[in-house]
Structure 1
Amino acid sequence: MRRDQTTLSELARLGFSGLSGVRALLDELDTTVAVDRELLLPLFGRAADPDQALTSLVRLGRSHPVQVSELLTSAGRTKTLVRILGASSGLADFLHRHPDELLRLPDRPRRLPTREELVDSLLDSVGAVDGFAEHTEEDGWLRLRVRYRRWLARIAAHDLRTDDPVAAFDDVALALSDAAAAAFEASIAVARTQITQPGNGPMVFSEDEVRATRFAVIGMGKAGAGELNYVSDVDVIFVAAGNESAGLSNPRAIDVATRLAMLSMRGLGQAGIEPELWEVDPNLRPEGKQGALVRTLDSHLAYYERWAKSWEFQALLKARPFAGDLELGGEYVDAVAPLVWSSASRENFVDSVQRMRERVTENIPADEVHYQLKLGPGGLRDIEFTVQLLQLVHGAVDEQVRQRSTLGALEALSANSYIGREEANAFAADYRLLRVLEHRLQLGSLRRTHLMPQDKDELRVLARASTLAPNADALVTLWESTKHEVRSLHERLFYRPLLAAVAALPEEEVALSPAQAEARLAAIGFRDPKGALSHIAALTTGVSRRATIQRHLLPVMLRWLADGADPDYGLIAFRRLSESLGGTHWFLRTLRDSSGVAERLTRVLSGSRFIGELLDHIPEAAAWLADDSDLHSRSLSAIEDEMRAILARHDTDAAAAQAIRRVRRREILRLALGGVLDVIELPELSRGLTDITTATIRGLLRLIRRTEGLGENDLEFAVIGMGRYGGAELGFGSDADVMYVYRSTALDKEQTHKAANRIVSELNRLSEDHRLPLDLDVDLRPEGKNGPVTRSLDSYRAYYSRWSLAWEAQALLRAQGVAGDSALIADFEELADAIRYPAEISEAAVREVKRIKARVENERLPQGADPSRHVKLGRGSLSDVEWFVQLLQLENGAGIPGLRTPSTLGALQVAVENNLVSADNAELLRAAWIFASRLRSAMTLWLNKTTDVLPSDRMQLDGIARVLAYPSGSAARLEEDYLAVTRRSRRVFEKQFYGTP
């Protein structure tokens, strides 16, 4: 074609808009490079923006005529170049900066690169060998960024030259995600080398330390889902671990990994000679921006188990091993998965997800709402939130919908009939269309954007780039109709995601509409019938044998749950338990074939959050409900035998301590089940709780004393139980009051003291359990909180002989050795006997005891607490009975051997037998003490937290009453009974203790 034969109309048909300048640009191109205009010009007809494509080509020809001329000899590469230049000024700038990349453009991009190809290529770009890069700092980052953009250009070429970009979207998004993961791998390799070289930061690490550091990058969001855009924020979480076999501790590994994380992010996202690739966003980590950048797996789990909000589990839905130590990444994903898939059972979970989506919309600037492809109504977030909510609800019981990608999840939800095929197909088509628009917008200047253009020319370019519509007006029409369809589907599924599943109720039930089902659940006692419907649907949906059994069980179990104090929580807890055990051969069969077990299960789940939360961690304990013998306390010797077996099996302290803590949780759960089901009474419960505490302390003490310098040949050491623990009177939520005593053997005094303190420190560390705390309280030691935590036996003897106060002698009344060296325990108890059972007690000492008691009543009650409702320190409650009995022991213990017992009720009975108190008065005191002890445990079982104040809330009182085997609606009766029994006890106490008439 001759230059003067190219008419303006022909240029317009090709899509050029700046017609007056096109001929001049073509003429200039002819003068700088060898070009066949007749072959070249038609190619602009398929460019998104022909004017931009031509301008960029001329610019390249001016600066790099040799490379451009060589490229234009290839028809395939020329077509690729024109498509890229017309769609992306960002890639045009890249090619201008690096002209050698022109000749690396594909002739015909027939396939996309695999992850393996991308990783190998990007590691090669930085000269990586065995995880360390040859090229570091600016040179390494430059090489990495250039190589990454080479691949980005190849991916874009494939995308732009495909006949159907919507159909190609899935593969393109996955390739972009793989390229980002490969870039991270290369950036980590550069960072590994950098941190071993002086001058690259405040800390320098040895190569051995770096090699021993397990460092994993967890992809989140679109990175985790394999759905990245051309320029997405890459959301990540970092996890690290030390290699114990290589001698690297976790704290040191965290230091190494933190530096690796910082540098690898810098290499990808910090401005440089070659522009940054994209922003790495680590703010989905625990505690967000305020949290540690890198944590161990255990630290992550501790946070998620205790503190995480519902949205964090929603985010974890897409977590996958992305880069670094993929094995560690897999361990992370496997560990958090149970938390993710149980998160939908959280209270108000659905409401919280719905409200979160609404907040996203509310926070969009008003002038952007209509143009937001991602966040606005009818945008991508509507689809993603809907799919994620459906996944989290149904995925709790159906692993098939546990997909990371939005499109994969949609397909699974449809295949398993959670949503209709038409709805799923429409959502998938709309999602791909919106994502293609988003891709083309971001590809333009290689910057992150989600706003549809408002300018007519920009809309025309977008229409051509996406090939979704012939012109700007048609694209706007298509986009508006897509938004409308997405919003309609979102509102239909997102706000009522599980109501259709109510149809899965048993065939013998009358079919109910969603509104009728909600009304029925509300009528029988559920406070959140919508939430209950979601859990019922999750339990009964599907054609599996498990779902079939659940459909038959649930109508009956719902009635039993409704008879409990908190049916909503009971149903949630049952769902969690079913998710844990529904696949076992015995669980559902037992519930189906033994109504007693099912009824018991509903009773404990609707009556005790303490039990519900523990069953989450020990679901197999549900099997105990079939046999009363499994609900009685195990003997101390049996538990100790198990502890010894644990110590024999485990070489490491951490593993052994974890196993010991699991035994403690299990046995406390056993006692809780037995207590709520009235299988065991208070004496057995108190003894059982005391025994498991003692066995735990003994097991941990044996574990600690395996350490060199802490053994029996080095020093004698003992734990003395005090307070309710020493008296074997523990309840649920009770602290374990203790004192520590030691005696030198092979070590000198200073070494022995240090060794004893080290034992105590390790005992506190290894006993720490966030789920079920074991509080070893040492406040009853000499000098109280101001005294040393450990003392030698000689130090105790010197202190008590010289400084002992009345309250310390009183505290020793319930002192009893519980763990450690028996000879030392015997010697300590002999010393204690001389203090707590004096031959005679002065009137001044008696007055001091009474003065302290009055002071406790006035000063130790929480501010504003009603003295009549405090079950520990209140009038006529535990404190009154115990102080009365203890004064009798101080006054008469020397002459009456039977009073020399740490047991409150045991000493009270001896006092009756020796005419120190009348049987009638003793019975009033005993009744109050037992009632208050049972009530204190019941409050812990109901609330799953320790409290000493009887609540005033009617619902809470009723729940506590149900734990104590009162009938439904007994809040007032419980309150009246407690106030009455403590009033009678207080009258006896005031007369017998203070001498009040």
Structure 2
Amino acid sequence: MTMPTRADDLTHHLARLGFARPQDAARHLTACALDGEALHRVAAACAEAPDPDLAAAQVCRWIAITGRVPSSTFLQRLAAVLGLSTSLGAFLSRHPEQADLLRDGSALAKPRTRKGLSDAALRALHTDEDPRIALGIFKRRELLRVACRDLAGGTSVEEVGRELSFLAEAALRAALVSLEEELPAPAGARFCVVGMGKLGGEELNYSSDIDVMFVFDAPGESRGESKGESLGVAWASRVAEGVLSRLAATTEEGQAFRVDASLRPEGKDGPLVRSLASYRAYYERWAKPWEFQALIKARMVAGDQVLGREFSDLVRPFVYPERLSPEAIREIRSMKARAERVLASKGVAVREVKRGPGGIRDIEFAVQLLQLVHGRRDQSLRSANTLEALAALAHGAYVGDDDAADLAGAYRFLRKIEHRLQLAQERQTHTVPENEARRRTLARSLGFRDTPTRPALEGFETEWRRIQALVRRIHEKLFYRPLLERFAQAPALNPDAAQERLGALGFRSPGRSLKFLGDLTSGLSRRAQLMRTLLPVMLDWMADSPDPDLAVSTFRDVALRVGGNSAALAALRDSPPVVELLCRVLGTSKLLGEYLLHVPEMVPALADPRTLQRKTREQMLAEATETIEWRGDPSARDSAIR
């Protein structure tokens, strides 16, 4: 294709390609003194970028600096990144040679490993550069590679978050290794860095703070024998301060990472480093429920691995205690509500993809609350990663398959929005801009394009609003699930003591009842998994009925009759009051148990409040008439009436 070279013709051509400011783009292109073929390639590549005008400005600046016009594939990759990110555009202006990593398709085809990134970070620190500058260059070079892979498509949100987390870990490990070389440890002293938040969950964004806590141990610390500030404390404090300085210092390369240590005990008012004994003392006496919720994400990311495991062992019983108090659940719910009110008062809730209604926090809080309640007995739920925990909740029948799939898809969509927002200027933001042009760029970066029937921006905003409504609906169902406090208080049912407990609860034949419970909970079916979840609270409900033995035997028969009926299982999982009602009714009336065995479809109907509403004589007559009038056979009419 011949590219027009006259200024007016070029401007009109660029306007047809979709440039919003074609005169400016034409000026950038002509300033590069490109021949017709090169001009065409550059214009075409920039036209496909999220923001064609920004791409033209930044690509042409790179060409002017280097005097090179990239090959077509290289150019497409460069334009895609520079058509969204001004921060990476500035980085390539300072270090134009770093763009060459976009040449090698094989190097971009797969993610780098944790070890590969750690080795590269260490090599960067052993150059002649100031270590703070070296880490900044290393971080943005890798950010350029990840962004290129991400914007090209085919890279999952999980993979992007994992690579960005590996990158932060690599910088932390390199900084720690270099500091330990400069500051030798006192005899027997150990130190490690615990990742929290998105770092702990391997879910970092392009501009996330990296949340950390610092742990040390030294002779005498574990037994509380240290007097005053020991050598171990002084050394560990210097190391921790050095890590913060090396990663968070502002240089001509900006900050490598913003490091936030405020999730530690007592926050910014507390000591920067603590021993294991000090962490234990704080969590035993002073910690709030939200602090234990935050520890779901705790993961050792740098330093002494044995010490990291000891810290994990220490905090696990606090995160997943034998019984979780109802006050803890209420406090977590109240904290979430307070945060929403604060956001609403600022007038940005509707544009917030993280904290607004139907946002990322709705998914995270619902998942984490279910982890706190059910993870005490089910270790498969104890993942620091949101999507892994959600998958485990679905596998264990704590969340329905459809709800879990919807939340997982929504989480990926919302996190992708968050990634694009932060990549643009490498700023920690979660707010979709008010400016229409910037929202259009966001939509294009997510793959939305104008069609004959709908602009890209409309397509994006329609899908985003659909996702928000979906997430909010499922969040409210899970986060405010009825009787969740009862599940939190229910103790685990120890098989060895189960028969004794049944006897204590008033079951006349505990051995026989135990067999019936085994029929309900054995195996890998969804029904069995769900019954294992419900069992600890079901026993109390059955024990409160007039005949607990009748309740357990009839409930067993009804549950087996229901089998894998998805509607019935959903009613039992999502509506614990239905389970409570069944336990009490089946332990009261043998007749009603026999009825449910013949009409198992009544089980899901019990979740509908209208089912149990009082009916007038006229309503019952009308329903009876409707039931039999179309049946011609008398025996069929008799059966229907029964």
SS in 1 for 2:257: coil
- Work out whether 1:23 is the aligned partner of 2:31: no
What pairs up with 1:951-962 in 2 under 5 angstroms? none
- Aligned to 2:166, which of 174, 178, 181? 178
Higher relative contact order (CA 8 A, sep 6+): 2
- What's the offset of the Cα at 1:15? 3.2
CA distance in 2, matches of 1:410, 1:115: 24
- Work out whether 1:151 is the aligned partner of 2:151: no
Unaligned stretches of 5+ in structure 1?
128-133, 197-206, 500-529, 561-587, 593-997
Partner of 2:109: 110
SS in 1 for 2:192: strand
- Work out whether 1:288 is the aligned partner of 2:267: yes
> Structure 1 counterpart of 2:334, which letter?
R
Partner of 1:614: none
CA distance in 1, matches of 2:150, 2:98: 18
Unaligned stretches of 5+ in structure 2?
451-455, 508-534, 540-642
> Structure 1 counterpart of 2:87, which letter?
G
Partner of 2:72: 75
Cα distance change on mapping 1:410 and 1:106 into 2, 3 Å: farther
Partner of 2:348: 368
- Work out whether 1:484 is the aligned partner of 2:475: no
> Structure 2 counterpart of 1:17, which letter?
A
- What's the offset of the Cα at 1:472? 1.3
Q: Which has the larger radius of gyration?
A: 1
Cα distance change on mapping 1:343 and 1:294 into 2, 3 Å: farther
CA distance in 1, matches of 2:19, 2:292: 50
CA distance in 2, matches of 1:51, 1:350: 50
| Cα shift readout 1:235-260 (whole Å, capped 9, x = no counterpart) | 11100122689xx9893122111111
> Structure 2 counterpart of 1:104, which letter?
L
- What's the offset of the Cα at 1:76? 2.9
What pairs up with 1:875-954 in 2 under 5 angstroms? none
| Cα shift readout 1:787-806 (whole Å, capped 9, x = no counterpart) | xxxxxxxxxxxxxxxxxxxx
SS in 1 for 2:471: helix
> Structure 2 counterpart of 1:119, which letter?
S
- Aligned to 2:328, which of 331, 349, 356? 349
CA contact (8 A) 1:286 1:303 kept: yes
CA contact (8 A) 1:190 1:264 kept: no
CA contact (8 A) 1:106 1:154 kept: no
Structure 1 stretches of at least 4 aligned residues deviating more than 4 Å after TM superposition:
5-10, 552-560
Partner of 2:396: 416
CA distance in 2, matches of 1:436, 1:553: 52
- Aligned to 1:399, which of 373, 379, 383? 379
CA distance in 2, matches of 1:413, 1:531: 18
CA contact (8 A) 1:173 1:227 kept: yes
Identity between Structure 1 and Structure 2 (%): 36
- Work out whether 1:254 is the aligned partner of 2:251: no
What pairs up with 1:423-572 in 2 under 5 angstroms? 423-468=403-448, 470=450, 471-496=456-481, 499=483, 531-536=485-490, 539=492, 546=495, 557=504
- What's the offset of the Cα at 1:326? 2.6
Farther off after superposition, 368-377 or 406-415: 368-377
CA contact (8 A) 1:47 1:82 kept: yes
CA distance in 2, matches of 1:330, 1:93: 41
CA distance in 1, matches of 2:323, 2:188: 38
CA contact (8 A) 1:74 1:107 kept: no
> Structure 2 counterpart of 1:378, which letter?
G
CA contact (8 A) 1:343 1:392 kept: no
- Work out whether 1:264 is the aligned partner of 2:243: yes
- What's the offset of the Cα at 1:13? 5.0
- Aligned to 1:214, which of 185, 190, 196? 190
SS in 2 for 1:404: coil
Cα distance change on mapping 1:351 and 1:460 into 2, 3 Å: same
| Cα shift readout 1:98-139 (whole Å, capped 9, x = no counterpart) | 122122334321011111010000011011xxxxxx76xx71
- Work out whether 1:187 is the aligned partner of 2:167: no
Cα distance change on mapping 1:18 and 1:549 into 2, 3 Å: farther
SS in 2 for 1:373: coil
Partner of 1:237: 213
- What's the offset of the Cα at 1:74? 3.4
SS in 2 for 1:419: coil
Cα distance change on mapping 1:264 and 1:533 into 2, 3 Å: closer
Partner of 1:785: none
Cα distance change on mapping 1:35 and 1:73 into 2, 3 Å: farther
Cα distance change on mapping 1:22 and 1:298 into 2, 3 Å: same
- Work out whether 1:2 is the aligned partner of 2:14: no
| Cα shift readout 1:671-706 (whole Å, capped 9, x = no counterpart) | xxxxxxxxxxxxxxxxxxxxxxxxxxxxxxxxxxxx
| Cα shift readout 1:863-894 (whole Å, capped 9, x = no counterpart) | xxxxxxxxxxxxxxxxxxxxxxxxxxxxxxxx
Cα distance change on mapping 1:491 and 1:553 into 2, 3 Å: farther
CA distance in 1, matches of 2:378, 2:472: 27
CA contact (8 A) 2:3 2:10 kept: no
| Cα shift readout 1:361-409 (whole Å, capped 9, x = no counterpart) | 1222432121111111111111100000001101000001111100000
> Structure 2 counterpart of 1:96, which letter?
S
- What's the offset of the Cα at 1:73? 4.0
- What's the offset of the Cα at 1:553? 7.1
CA contact (8 A) 2:448 2:457 kept: no
CA distance in 1, matches of 2:217, 2:487: 42
> Structure 2 counterpart of 1:143, which letter?
A
- What's the offset of the Cα at 1:356? 1.1
Cα distance change on mapping 1:78 and 1:344 into 2, 3 Å: farther
CA distance in 2, matches of 1:312, 1:556: 38
- What's the offset of the Cα at 1:558? 5.5
| Cα shift readout 1:207-265 (whole Å, capped 9, x = no counterpart) | 353x85421110001000000000111111100122689xx989312211111111211
Partner of 1:509: none
Cα distance change on mapping 1:361 and 1:559 into 2, 3 Å: farther
SS in 2 for 1:440: helix
| Cα shift readout 1:643-662 (whole Å, capped 9, x = no counterpart) | xxxxxxxxxxxxxxxxxxxx
| Cα shift readout 1:913-967 (whole Å, capped 9, x = no counterpart) | xxxxxxxxxxxxxxxxxxxxxxxxxxxxxxxxxxxxxxxxxxxxxxxxxxxxxxx
> Structure 2 counterpart of 1:451, which letter?
T
Partner of 2:122: 123
CA contact (8 A) 1:76 1:107 kept: no
Partner of 2:360: 380
CA distance in 1, matches of 2:487, 2:130: 59
| Cα shift readout 1:34-75 (whole Å, capped 9, x = no counterpart) | 97223332222331111111101222233x224xx1xx3433
CA contact (8 A) 1:387 1:406 kept: yes
CA distance in 1, matches of 2:433, 2:40: 34
Cα distance change on mapping 1:234 and 1:34 into 2, 3 Å: farther
CA distance in 2, matches of 1:113, 1:397: 36
CA contact (8 A) 1:344 1:392 kept: no
CA distance in 2, matches of 1:558, 1:466: 57
CA contact (8 A) 2:323 2:488 kept: no
